[in-house]
Chains A and B, each alone.
Chain A
Amino acid sequence: MSIYLAYDGSINANWIARYAVRIAANHPEKQLHVVYIEVAETPTPELSASMKRIEIEAEAVGVEAKLELRPMRHGVFGGLVEHIPAGPQSIVICGARVKKGRRGFLTGTVSEQLLSQRRYNVMALRVVQPGLMGLPGNVLAPVSGDPEGFKVGLSMLELMAPDIQRLHLLNIVESRRSPFRLKSPGHTKQQRARAMTYIRGIEAELLDQLAIAPEYVDSHVAIADNWAREAIIQASRLHAGLMFIEAPKESLTRRFFFSDEVERLLGNTPCDVAVYRGVV
């Protein structure tokens, strides 16, 4: 398995690089490919200094950072596709916008293309707590209704496991506003119990797969009328350093009409967010 960092020289990319270095440090090969697609003919001195800095930080944790400057091929995405071998053996770490653009944090970025093309295991990060320096401590993983998607994400979570102090699994049962207010406490209790059984099942599977002790994993259930808002609240409540969520599968039309919850999370979560999508 090879780990690639899609690097663009920005301050945000430097923060993301710290996650990439940590992930590479937890991999047996201890190698990180830092890929920069040359948007300008000559790299600026700042870029060279930043890349050098990554090399030094990687070396400090025993990781060999390979700095790879590659030409564009019909844009940055094309350059990355040409350079990074497709398949589950490649993990690509990239970044969402740190500040909301006209189309959001992820929409329209190279990272979105990487996630949607399903060529690699991709993790797009938005770093809002640079002080954590890639060591989030508490990780919150909201689990959607698709256990398969989460299983694919496990391969990436596995590489972060040694740095995780506590992994919080969260199952949010979404309830539309008006009916929610109508539901009796008894009904809510049943719903909560079902959701807890489901999340405990995932927890058991996760403990089988990850090198993480049971006392470091906690499962939570929340019943809410707004999935994204509840995830944000839980992230704050649990002092999560990182939220680990699967990229949505909905088509663009659905996202247009029903709003993009991932964008809302990226915009409002007061912790780092990793949006992942894997290939089997």
Chain B
Amino acid sequence: MTGQIQNIHPEDVYDYLHSSPGGLDDREVAARLNEVGPNNLEAPKGLWWLSSLVRQLTNFFTVLLDISAAICFVADFIQPGEQMNILGWALLGVSMLNALFSFAQEFRAERAMEELRKFLPQKVVVRRMGEDGEVASDRLVPGDVILIREGDKVPADARLVEGRDLVVNNAPLTGESIPLQVDSAATDKALMESNNLVFAGCTVQRGSARAVVFATGFRTQFGRIAKLSHEIPRVASPLERETSHMVRVLTVIAVSMGLVFFTYGVVTERSLWVNLVFMMGIIVANVPEGLLPTFTLSLAMGSLRMARRNVLVKGLNAVEALGAVHVICTDKTGTLTLNRLSVTRLADPLSGEDIDSRNRCRDVFALALTAADIGVSDEEFTGDPLDIAVAERYRADGGDPVAITSLISRRFAFDTERRRAGGLSKDKAITRFVVKGAWESLRPLVASVRDGDNAAAVAVDPEKLEAADNVVHRMASAGERVIALASRTVDVAEEDADIDDLERNLILEGFIGLEDPIRPEVPDAARQCREAGIGMIMITGDHPETAEAIARRAGILTQGASAAQATVTGSELANMRERDLIARLEKGTTVFARTNPEQKMKIVAALHQMERVVAVTGDGVNDAPALKAADVGIAMGRGGTDVAREAAQVILLDDNFASIVAGIEEGRTIFANIRKFTNYVLVSNGPEILPYLIYMLFPVPLALTVIQILAIDLGTDIIPSMALGQEKPTPGTMQEPPRDRRQGLLSFPLIAHSYFFLGLIEAAFSLSLFFWVLFSGGWEWGQELASTDPLYLSATGIALSSILLMQIGNLFGRRSRYESGIDMEAFRNPLIISGIGFEIIFSWAILYFPPVSKIIGGGPVDAHVYAIAWVGVPLIFGLDYLRKRIALRVA
């Protein structure tokens, strides 16, 4: 017993997995199937969806809305004819919509699992009882001997026991779509790094092999990703947490006040029914019923605006979550760069200067194509992006890449362990072996080097190797991807030799520099991030020097920053404990080079430990867990897989980093707007609550009925709130640091401003008009009035009317923290115009338009009284503006 499955010799594999070259027999298969279960990624069965639905129907928001609806139904029962039951049904509808929306979110996780299942094959060729046959892949068990061939999807994790020239693509696991040569020889590498295993969900690109299954179903590496993608719960967004907190605070205030009133009523010997009605009235007055639907509407409209900026938001809460982001962990290729790899230069191996000779350039690129694996489809090259870039360059230089590749007699696919690929080309009498790859991997194989001046090969010595090292270092530091190219002629006798024999006495031909240009918008977007206090972390599989150079060009790494401090490699990361990683991140690490996508999870977890709100980009299957674990998972719309798109909350339609920054700006604006309309809505709570306090304490009529309160909260306040939700970003939006997570939506200054300043102004003014109308109509202190008394209807009508008009002044005031709020932009927002129009028409209709005044409970007043109600608009606006000027001076 020598170690794990990849460490044992192929001939021992059968014994260790209790199998044999002839495969298992049916009895053994049945026993093992019974013992370990089928080889599939079955989702949990049963009534899981029911429990999810029940959970959504019993969450706090839903219950709160249901209670509000119940209050309406009770009120309707006590005071029929006031249409309270209609409001009750409306609230129930909103509650159901909220619950079903959340339920639909949970169903998405199951859709992601469905996408993952597509990676596994339906059928597989298995050797059982000495014969090969096709069976359903979910019937596979550990110990089964499978045959995998070109084009197959691998059904389970298996150890190779026979096979030659098998090339697989492990992109679902590694995220890198590069061919990987695997064989059956034992290796001392770790399980995931070994090249004698094939993994479920991956594909066979070339060759065939026999392998013994050692893990099935969720026990495979692919199954682990599936499990993780399925199990990780969605992170509650900052807005969800804050609205949850706000609603709870407001509910506690409302219920406490309601109970105090109820108790007071009992003590003062009022009737039980009256006490109940007033308790409900005070609760209704305190709870901003319209706020939650307005949140949803505002976020939905925000998501439309984001979509126009190429940011498609799948869950409404992600709209605002983007605005709260502290750190963006971004991929490089395609997000920061254009994903258009192109050859920038061909450098002389010793001097590093560009090779000018056109003929030599063509010769060297032709050699590079000999070690390439490309195809042609509709005039377009297909295959590895690097090979495509070389082929395009060769074609641009007037060559025919297909003519070169048609001469290839043997191919050696890219080997991750050797970090190089090779090919053998036979043209007439000359056979040439070419190898291309990382310079570090070719360096020990090079015996001579092509001299720049006369193109003759000269023997290498330590000085020449050092000169070549310097060339590579200079090219990588400039952000170029460097590919070394070496070749030699091969005798006929050597043509079938092993790769180890061929890779001898090579001549270093030159270095090909390639570049994937930075997107032009990225440096500016990075500058915006810095100004907005948002950290940027680049996670890439590139060489550290290349990664650093690109990070500098993109603006992620500032010019003065130390590269050693800022960069961590994948191997360093693998050995780091979480606390070490946190320490590096705190010291300013911004570049993770030579990493694999799975390591993203480790970075996200460390950032979460640092209490950061994290956005992560990803495109591959194995990015799915990190996308789900992040506060905002961002999938690539063009280059991403369906699995990544299903796991993410945000899809970037143009794969562009700059769009993320645009989304953040939009998200921040949305939060600022939510705060504005929360402030706006809470102001009307003051004049809604105060009449109840006065009514309970003094022998006066009630100035505002429950239906009138609901008319404000669920009626006239909605459009102005939505208008505030549509406000455009202010110039300072991206110049402030991310908001402090400790500062919630509902802060003490906001409550004080809403209730005790603007709320009191509205209450005082509306109550003044209420009593003015009463006294003018002959009412005397302590006199009781029937709810249908015309005098009472006029008085309560003008109270409501004046509140609605004052909300116009409040609306302008809320548009800006320190400015007046009256500018041309205000009149370009159609919802502001509509909101104001609605307030004006409604304030008139409740007094003078019988169909409305009958339902709401209002009556006409003298025209001069209504005219005085208009004074409330400049009054509240002016006093608030005065406060702003004082606040600005203090600030």
Q: Kindly provide the distance from the CB of B625 to the nearest chain A CB, expressed in whole angstroms.
A: 7
Q: Is B60 among interface residues, defined by CB-CB distance under 8 A?
A: yes
Contact residue among A50, A99, A133 (Cβ-Cβ distance under 8 Å from B16): A133
Contact residue among B231, B575, B578, B742 (Cβ-Cβ distance under 8 Å from A229): B231
Q: Kindly provide the distance from the CB of B84 to the nearest chain A CB, expressed in whole angstroms.
A: 29
Within 8 A of A (CB), among B693-729: none
Q: Kindly provide the distance from the CB of A251 to the nearest chain B CB, expressed in whole angstroms.
A: 25
Given contacts A12-B35, A53-B15, A132-B191, contact A270 B223 (CB under 8 A): yes
Q: Which residues of A contact B611 (CB under 8 A)?
A: 185, 188-189
Q: Is B219 among interface residues, defined by CB-CB distance under 8 A?
A: yes
Given contacts A181-B236, A229-B231, contact A131 B191 (CB under 8 A): yes
- Whether B227 contacts A131 by the Cβ 8 Å rule is no
- Whether A237 contacts B625 by the Cβ 8 Å rule is yes
Q: Which residues of A contact B37 (CB under 8 A)?
A: 98-99
Q: Which residues of B contact A220 (CB under 8 A)?
A: 578, 605
**Of listed B31, B36, B218, B236, residue having the most chain A CB within 10 A:** B36
Q: Is A28 among interface residues, defined by CB-CB distance under 8 A?
A: no
Q: Is A135 among interface residues, defined by CB-CB distance under 8 A?
A: yes
Per-residue 0/1 for B103-143: is the Cβ within 8 Å of any A Cβ (1 yes, 0 no)?
00000000000000000000000000000000000000011
- Whether B609 contacts A192 by the Cβ 8 Å rule is yes
Q: Is the interface of B mostly helix, strand, loop or mixed?
A: helix
Per-residue 0/1 for A117-136: is the Cβ within 8 Å of any B Cβ (1 yes, 0 no)?
00000000000111111010
Rounded to whole angstroms, the CA-CA distance of A182 and B232 in the bound complex is: 20
- Whether A129 contacts B231 by the Cβ 8 Å rule is no
Contact residue among A18, A129, A219 (Cβ-Cβ distance under 8 Å from B1): A18
Q: Is B53 among interface residues, defined by CB-CB distance under 8 A?
A: no
Q: Is B190 among interface residues, defined by CB-CB distance under 8 A?
A: yes
List the A residue with the shortest CB-CB distance to B3: A135
List the A residue with the shortest CB-CB distance to B228: A236
Rounded to whole angstroms, the CA-CA distance of A260 and B281 in the bound complex is: 46
Within 8 A of A (CB), among B562-605: 575, 577-579, 598, 601-602, 605
Q: Which residues of A contact B60 (CB under 8 A)?
A: 178
Q: Is B271 among interface residues, defined by CB-CB distance under 8 A?
A: no
Within 8 A of B (CB), among A203-250: 215, 217-221, 225-226, 229, 232-233, 236-237, 239
Q: Is A31 among interface residues, defined by CB-CB distance under 8 A?
A: no
Within 8 A of A (CB), among B217-270: 218-219, 223-224, 227-228, 231-233, 236, 240-241, 244-245, 248
Given contacts A11-B18, A215-B577, contact A233 B241 (CB under 8 A): no
Contact residue among B18, B32, B577 (Cβ-Cβ distance under 8 Å from A53): B18
- Whether B224 contacts A131 by the Cβ 8 Å rule is no
Given contacts A53-B18, A182-B248, A184-B742, contact A237 B228 (CB under 8 A): yes
Within 8 A of B (CB), among A174-204: 178, 181-182, 184-186, 188-189, 192
Q: Is A38 among interface residues, defined by CB-CB distance under 8 A?
A: no
Contact residue among B18, B218, B236, B601 (Cβ-Cβ distance under 8 Å from A237): B601
**A interface residue count range (under 10 / 10 to 19 / 20 to 34 / 35 or more):** 35 or more
Contact residue among B4, B575, B579, B744 (Cβ-Cβ distance under 8 Å from A133): B4
Q: Which residues of B contact A219 (CB under 8 A)?
A: 578-579
Contact residue among A60, A98, A181, A233 (Cβ-Cβ distance under 8 Å from B228): A233
Q: Is B377 among interface residues, defined by CB-CB distance under 8 A?
A: no
Q: Is A140 among interface residues, defined by CB-CB distance under 8 A?
A: no
Q: Is A162 among interface residues, defined by CB-CB distance under 8 A?
A: no
- Whether B579 contacts A131 by the Cβ 8 Å rule is no
- Whether A129 contacts B219 by the Cβ 8 Å rule is yes
Rounded to whole angstroms, the CA-CA distance of A99 and B18 in the bound complex is: 19
Q: Is A113 among interface residues, defined by CB-CB distance under 8 A?
A: no
Q: Which residues of A contact B227 (CB under 8 A)?
A: 232, 236, 268, 270
Given contacts A131-B159, A131-B214, A270-B219, contact A218 B579 (CB under 8 A): yes
Rounded to whole angstroms, the CA-CA distance of A140 and B59 in the bound complex is: 33
Given contacts A99-B37, A181-B244, A182-B244, contact A11 B218 (CB under 8 A): no
Within 8 A of B (CB), among A52-102: 53, 57-58, 60-61, 98-99
List the A residue with the shortest CB-CB distance to B214: A131
Q: Is B783 among interface residues, defined by CB-CB distance under 8 A?
A: no
List the A residue with the shortest CB-CB distance to B44: A268
Q: Is A14 among interface residues, defined by CB-CB distance under 8 A?
A: yes
Q: Is A48 among interface residues, defined by CB-CB distance under 8 A?
A: no
Q: Which residues of A contact B2 (CB under 8 A)?
A: 60
Contact residue among B142, B575, B741 (Cβ-Cβ distance under 8 Å from A185): B741
Q: Kindly provide the distance from the CB of A92 to the nearest chain B CB, expressed in whole angstroms.
A: 21
Q: Is A137 among interface residues, defined by CB-CB distance under 8 A?
A: yes
Given contacts A99-B35, A130-B215, A218-B579, contact A236 B625 (CB under 8 A): yes
- Whether B4 contacts A131 by the Cβ 8 Å rule is yes
Q: Is A259 among interface residues, defined by CB-CB distance under 8 A?
A: no
Q: Kindly provide the distance from the CB of A186 to the nearest chain B CB, expressed in whole angstroms.
A: 5
**Of listed A61, A189, A270, residue having the most chain B CB within 10 A:** A270
Q: Is B51 among interface residues, defined by CB-CB distance under 8 A?
A: no
- Whether A99 contacts B36 by the Cβ 8 Å rule is yes
- Whether A229 contacts B35 by the Cβ 8 Å rule is no
Q: A11-B31, A131-B4 are in contact. List 9 more A-B contacts (CB 8 A).
A: A11-B18, A131-B6, A132-B4, A182-B248, A189-B611, A220-B605, A233-B232, A236-B625, A237-B601
Can you name 22 A-B residue pairings with CB atoms under 8 Å?
A53-B18, A58-B1, A60-B1, A99-B35, A99-B36, A129-B215, A131-B6, A132-B4, A133-B1, A137-B191, A166-B577, A182-B245, A182-B248, A192-B609, A218-B579, A236-B231, A237-B602, A237-B629, A268-B227, A270-B218, A270-B219, A270-B223
Q: Which 9 A-B pairs give the minimum distances between C-beta atoms? A: A131-B5, A218-B577, A185-B741, A236-B228, A131-B214, A270-B224, A60-B1, A128-B219, A57-B1
**Which residues of B approach A to under 8 Å, CB–CB?**
1-6, 15-18, 31-32, 34-37, 59-60, 142-143, 157, 159, 190-191, 197, 214-215, 218-219, 223-224, 227-228, 231-233, 236, 240-241, 244-245, 248, 575, 577-579, 598, 601-602, 605, 609, 611, 625, 629, 741-742, 744
